[in-house]
Structure 1
C-alpha cells in the first residue's frame, strides 16, 4: 500500500478519491439464479482461471502477497479476457492490498477458498474446531473490505464419495458460521459457496444438501469441478455437459464451473467454452473457471513460470485466448430478471448419505480457554510440543476414561461440549478428568510418563464454560486488513483472545 501521510490534506483527499473512483469494481450481487453487477445491473458471467503457483515455492506460497508476480500475471490474464481468479489458499496475516488493487485495475474479481490444508475439515475423520474457525474468520477479515472480492468457497470436494458424506455436516456448520460472521463483520453481503467434485454416486445429494434447510445453512452459489469434456471429438451432448445442465436447471441459486479443462488430450483447445459461454449453457450456468494458470506437476498450466520468474506462454494459453475471443455473453438485466425458484429439499438419510440434520456447534475459543483455566492437571509442555503425537495421547487416555465431552459424531448428531477445542486443550481436559475421578487428585496420577503436569486452577470448576461464546471485536470498516479481535467476558472480566493468523500449508 502506498503511504501518503506526508501529503497535504487536500492532496491526500484527492489522491484517495482518484484511487477509489478509477479502480473500484462494482461488487457482484446475486438475484435468483444469476450474478449481476450491482451498479450497472448487467448479468455477470465468470471467465476465470485457478491461480495458485506452487512448483517453484518451498512449502506454502500465498500468490496474492507477491505484487511483482501479480503485476506480471494479471496483465496476461487481462489479455486473455478473464474477469475472475480463483485462489485456493492465502495467509491472512500478510498484506494483500497491492495485489488486490492490481487485480481490480485489471478488471478482475477474486473467488477465495477459506479452508487450507492445515486448518481444514478432513473428509475421513471430520472435526470442526477452533483452529479452523479462527483461520476462516481471519481470512474473511483480510478480504472482506475489497470490492472485488466476489465470494468465498467454504469447501472444495470435502465429501468426494459415498463413504465420506458425514463430513458434509461439518462443512455445513462452517457455512452457517461463515455466513453469520459476514453478516456482522462486513459492510456488504459477500456470497459463500461450495465446490463439488461431480462424483456420480452423490452429485445430486451434495447439490441438494448445501441448498436446503435454514437460510443461514444454505450456500449462495454452487460450483462444480467438471472434467467430462475431453478433446475436440466430444460435443455438448456426448460430453456429459448436457446432462449436468438438466440436473441444475431447477436449482435456485447461481451455478458455474468452479474448475474445468480436461487434459487427457493435449494441447487443450477448449471446445467446451463455446457451450459454457454460448447458447447451450448461459441460460442455466454463470460461466466457469479454467484449471489452471501455471504449469505444475499435473500438467494443466496455461503458462510456464521459470526459475528467473519470467513467464512463457504455453499452447493452452494461446488456444484458450482464441476460443474465448468471440464469446461475449450478455444475458439479462437485473431489474428485468424476476425468476425465483424454491430451495432444494434435503436428501434422505441412507446408507450412502449419512450426515445428521443436527450440525456441530460453533467453535468458541472463549469456552476452551475458560475450561482450561479450571483444570488442576493439564498436558505438559512436552506433550504440547509433540504435536504429531497428540492424537495418540488422546486415544490412550480415551481408553482409560470416557471422552464423550470432547468427541463429536456427525452421523448421530451428538457433539461433546468441548468437541471443538484444540487437541492440546482436549488432552488437558481428559488428563484432568482422569486425575480428579479415577486418580482422586493424587499427584502421582497427573503424570502420564511426563505428558501431564499439575497446574493451579483459576476457577473451581468448568461450570458455565461450555456456553461462553466469542464476541467479534472487529468493525465493519477497513480495506482488507486482518482484524483478529475476538474476546469474551466471564464473571464480568473481558478477556482478549489471540486468533491464529498463519496458514503454513502445502500446495494444492
Structure 2
C-alpha cells in the first residue's frame, strides 16, 4: 500500500517536473534512470544589458519571460544543458528552472562571479567568498535539473598566475564538503580552464591529483582551436583528446565555437560526438546564446519587443546537432576505473603549491574579534562605502605590516603557507594587526588616526580561536538570509528523488 501511494505521488510530480538525475561513474556521465551515457549538448546563456550599472548582477535565471521564450528554441536546437556564469542567489529562479526542465535542459552553473571570485593576480579565499558560494549552492541545489557547479573559470590563465589554482582547488574541496554535509543530493563541482600551451598539462593534472576530497569532479576546457571548416587533426582537437585519454574524471568543452570564420559552420560538432572523441569527451557547450558585442550569438534579441530572432549560426548548429548521434555505453556495463593524476612538479611554468589554503572559518574570525580590546573603527569602515572601507583598511594594513609581522593574515603562495587569520575579512585582519602592535608596544594607544577604537572583550580564549572549525550550516554575512525559493511541491519532489536515488 505504501509503495503504491509513493508511486502515485511520484507519477504526479514527475509529470510536473520530468527530468532524470545525471550521475558520474568513472570518467563518464550517465542518466541515472535510463542508464544511457549522457553527452552534454549545451549553450552558454548570459544575456547582457548594456544599460545596467557595472556592479549590477545580470541574472538570466531571474527573467521568467526570457527563459520561457528561449527554452523552447533551445529544445528545438537539440540542446540539453545551459551554462550560466552569474546569478543573484537572493532572487527567485523557480520559473526559469521549471521552463528549462520542461524543455529537458539541465543547468551548469558558475558559482564564482566577477564580484565574488578568486583574483588571479592577488589570490585570496576568505569568509566572504565562501559565504557567497554557499548561498548560490543553497539557491540551486534543490532544483532537480541542476547538473553541476563550476568553482572557477580560467582563474589561472597563463604561467604568471599558477599559484591562484591552489585557492580555486580549496574552493572545490570546501564546496564539495558543504554539498555532502547539507544537501540531500550530491551535485558535482568542477573547474573550467582555458587552453594555454604552457600550463595545459600541469593544470589538468593539478585539479585531479592528491586527496580525493580535493580533486575536481569534472574538468572543463574552453577550447576555440577549431575555426571554420577545419579537421580533427588540423584543429588540435586530436592532440587535446590524446591529452585526456587516460584522465580519470569526465572532461567536456565548457566553451567552444571559434568565430574567426562567420557564419560559423560548426563542423567540429561531428567530431565531438563521434567515436574520435566520445570515449574521452562528454560533449560540450557552445558559446553563446544571445548576440552581444563579441558576435558569438545564436539568436538576436530585439531590445524593444524582446523577440528572439534566429541567426544563421543557430541554423548551422541545429543542422550539425541533428546529425550528431553519439554512441555511448550503458552505465551497468561500464566498470573502467582510471587512476587519478600524479601531481605536477613545480617548474618555471607551474608554481601552484600542493598545500591548499584553509577553509574560511567565520567562527574563528568571530572568536578573534571577541577577544580583542582594540578593533577597526567605524571611520575605517565608512571611509569608502563603495568598497566597504577597503581603501582605508588596506592602507592601514600596509603601514602596519612595515612595522610588525603580518604572517598571521597573509599567505606565502610559493611555499603554500597560510596565516591563521588569512581568510578573515579585511576589517578583522586590521583589528588583529592593531592588537599585535599594541601588544608589542605597551605605550601605543588604540587610535591610529581614528581608524581604531577601544572595545570590551567578550571572551578570554584567544589561543583557541584558530582551531575553531568553519561553519558548514549555511551562508553568513550579506547572504545569511538566503533560502531556497522552491515551492513546497518542488521541495517534496526533491526530497523524494534524493531518498530514492540514495536507495539505488
TM-score by length of 1: 0.88
| Alpha-carbon distance between aligned partners in 2 of 1:142 and 1:85, rounded to the nearest angstrom | 17
Q: Which residue in the other structure is 1:413 paired with?
A: 416
Query: Structure 1 residues 498, 322: CA separation in 2 closer, same or farther (over 3 Å shift)?
Result: closer
Could you tell me how far 1:306 is from its partner in structure 2? 2.2
Q: Which residue in the other structure is 1:53 paired with?
A: 47
Q: Which residue in the other structure is 2:285 paired with?
A: 289
Q: Deviations over 1:94-150 (max 9, x none)?
A: 121221111111101011111112111111111110011111111111111111111
Q: Deviations over 1:265-300 (max 9, x none)?
A: 111111111111123211211100000111112111
Task: Indicate conservation of the 8 Å contact 1:375/1:461, yes or no.
Answer: no
Is 1:459 matched with 2:459?
yes
| Alpha-carbon distance between aligned partners in 2 of 1:472 and 1:337, rounded to the nearest angstrom | 35
Q: Which residue in the other structure is 2:492 paired with?
A: none
Task: Indicate conservation of the 8 Å contact 1:92/1:501, yes or no.
Answer: no
Range 50-59 or range 244-253, more displaced: 50-59
Q: Which residue in the other structure is 1:494 paired with?
A: none
Could you tell me how far 1:499 is from its partner in structure 2? 4.1
| Alpha-carbon distance between aligned partners in 1 of 2:172 and 2:457, rounded to the nearest angstrom | 35
Task: Indicate conservation of the 8 Å contact 1:152/1:190, yes or no.
Answer: yes
Could you tell me how far 1:210 is from its partner in structure 2? 0.5
**What is the number of equivalent residue pairs in this alignment?**
466
| Alpha-carbon distance between aligned partners in 1 of 2:128 and 2:113, rounded to the nearest angstrom | 11
Task: Indicate conservation of the 8 Å contact 1:135/1:501, yes or no.
Answer: no
Could you tell me how far 1:14 is from its partner in structure 2? 8.4
Could you tell me how far 1:346 is from its partner in structure 2? 0.5
Range 169-178 or range 197-206, more displaced: 169-178
Range 299-308 or range 46-55, more displaced: 299-308
Is 1:278 matched with 2:274?
yes
Q: Deviations over 1:170-218 (max 9, x none)?
A: 1111111111111111112211111110100000001111111111011
Query: Structure 1 residues 310, 57: CA separation in 2 closer, same or farther (over 3 Å shift)?
Result: farther
| Alpha-carbon distance between aligned partners in 2 of 1:293 and 1:446, rounded to the nearest angstrom | 56
2:259 maps to which of 263, 271, 293: 263
Query: Structure 1 residues 416, 229: CA separation in 2 closer, same or farther (over 3 Å shift)?
Result: same
Could you tell me how far 1:22 is from its partner in structure 2? 4.0
Question: Any idea what SS the aligned residue of 1:289 has?
Answer: strand
Q: Which residue in the other structure is 2:237 paired with?
A: 241
Task: Indicate conservation of the 8 Å contact 1:26/1:37, yes or no.
Answer: yes
Which 5+ residue runs of structure 2 have no aligned equivalent? 1-6, 483-504
| Alpha-carbon distance between aligned partners in 2 of 1:182 and 1:441, rounded to the nearest angstrom | 49
Q: Which residue in the other structure is 1:121 paired with?
A: 118
Q: Deviations over 1:8-67 (max 9, x none)?
A: xxxxx9899624444231111111111100111000000000011113451321111111
| Alpha-carbon distance between aligned partners in 2 of 1:270 and 1:394, rounded to the nearest angstrom | 52
Q: Deviations over 1:409-451 (max 9, x none)?
A: 222111111000011111121122223322x265xx3222222
Query: Structure 1 residues 337, 428: CA separation in 2 closer, same or farther (over 3 Å shift)?
Result: same
Q: Deviations over 1:332-391 (max 9, x none)?
A: 111111222111111011222112221111000111111111111111112112234032
Query: Structure 1 residues 180, 57: CA separation in 2 closer, same or farther (over 3 Å shift)?
Result: farther
| Alpha-carbon distance between aligned partners in 2 of 1:462 and 1:37, rounded to the nearest angstrom | 51
Q: For the aligned residues, what is the CA RMSD?
A: 1.9
Is 1:301 matched with 2:297?
yes
Range 103-112 or range 299-308, more displaced: 299-308
Q: Which residue in the other structure is 1:31 paired with?
A: 25
Q: Which residue in the other structure is 1:436 paired with?
A: 439
Query: Structure 1 residues 429, 240: CA separation in 2 closer, same or farther (over 3 Å shift)?
Result: same
Task: Indicate conservation of the 8 Å contact 2:373/2:455, yes or no.
Answer: yes
TM-score by length of 2: 0.89
